[in-house]
Structures are given as C-alpha cells and as structure tokens.
Amino acid sequence: MRVPFKFVGYCDESEDETSLVITCVFARAADWTVAVRPWQALLTKYGMPEFHAEHCEHRKGFWETWSDPSERLSVARQFLDLIIANRLPFPTVYATGVDLRCFKDIAAPMIREAHPGKRLDAPWLLAFHQVLTGMLEAQRFTNNTLGTVER
C-alpha cells in the first residue's frame, strides 16, 4: 500500500509599501529535524526567540541594539546559508512576491469580479496560494513519480 508523504513547513512574510514576499520551507515530516536542528542551534547561539529577515534589516525587536549593519548581515547570512545548504530532498524552499501596486490596480479587481461577495482580494492570499501550489506540486511529484511509502 502506498502512503503519501506527510509534510511539515514554516512560512513567513515580509511587506512594505511596494511589495509582499512570502517564503516557505517544507520537508517530509520524517526529515523535518534535519532542517530544524541547525536553525534552532543558531537561534540559541544568538539568544533569539525567532529569526525574521525584515526585523534584522530594519533593526526591529531583537535587532534594535545591533547598530553595525555588517554584524547583522553576517548573522542573517548564517541563517540563509542553512536554507541554501540544507540536505533535504527536492525543492524545499518556495517564495513568491507580489507587486502591491499592480495587485491593487489589476489583480484585486479581477479577483473581486471572479468571486463577488468573498474577501479573497488580499495580496497575501495570492502569494500564499502560489507557494502552496508549488508545495503541492512537489508532493504530487514525490508521491506519484517515486512511488514512495512513508510509515
């Protein structure tokens, strides 16, 4: 009997007046600790409750006292390196961006027209939909192409 993989993931978004970006990392549940363990070790090393690139860039929260941009960049780079060098199979990082001006002028009216009375015209919904579509396609490929079984 073939059983589909179970996936675990983490998503985060950043937004300013011009754009919205959502990035997600996901893996098979059985492999999740491969991704999480080094990330947790870096959080512990710096005494961080969590890492948000936007907070690092704009000196918010944990980063308020870090005045040297090169120090912040060095730490941020360590987190990015973990994502780039992960040992997880298949594409495990998905990201999408939305130009908020184009969304407001073009996509939002089209969404409202296609789904009257529903509140589906938020840019983060479009971005998250794109990320989930990519993740589901990877899961479909994994399950169908490799015919794998996860217990």
For 11-32, how does the pLDDT look when each residue is reduced to its tens digit (9 = 90+)? 888 888 899 988 888 877 878 8
pLDDT at 4: 58
* Backbone φ/ψ region at 72: left (φ over 0), alpha (ψ -120 to 50), beta: alpha
- What's this model's pTM, rounded to 2 decimal places? 0.68
Flag whether pLDDT at 78 surpasses 90.
yes
The DSSP output letter for 105 is I
Q: What token pair was written down for 2?
A: 């073939």
For residues 53 and 132, give the distance between their C-alpha atoms in angstroms, rounded to a whole number: 21
What is the residue-averaged pLDDT of the chain? 84
Q: Report pLDDT digits (tens) over 112-136.
A: 999 998 888 899 898 988 888 887 7
Flag whether pLDDT at 1 surpasses 70.
no
Burial letters for 85-118: b for 16+ Cβ neighbours within 10 Å, e otherwise?
ebebeeebbbebebebeebeeebbeebeeeeeee
Q: Report pLDDT digits (tens) over 96-110.
A: 899 999 999 999 999
Flag whether pLDDT at 64 surpasses 90.
yes
- Residue type, position 9, single letter: G
Of 24-28, 56-60, 147-151, give the lowest mean pLDDT range: 147-151
114-118 contacts at long range (C-beta below 8 A, 24 or more positions apart) = none
Which residue intervals of 2-107 are DSSP H helices? Answer: 32-46, 53-58, 69-84, 100-102
For residues 102 and 114, give the distance between their C-alpha atoms in angstroms, rounded to a whole number: 17
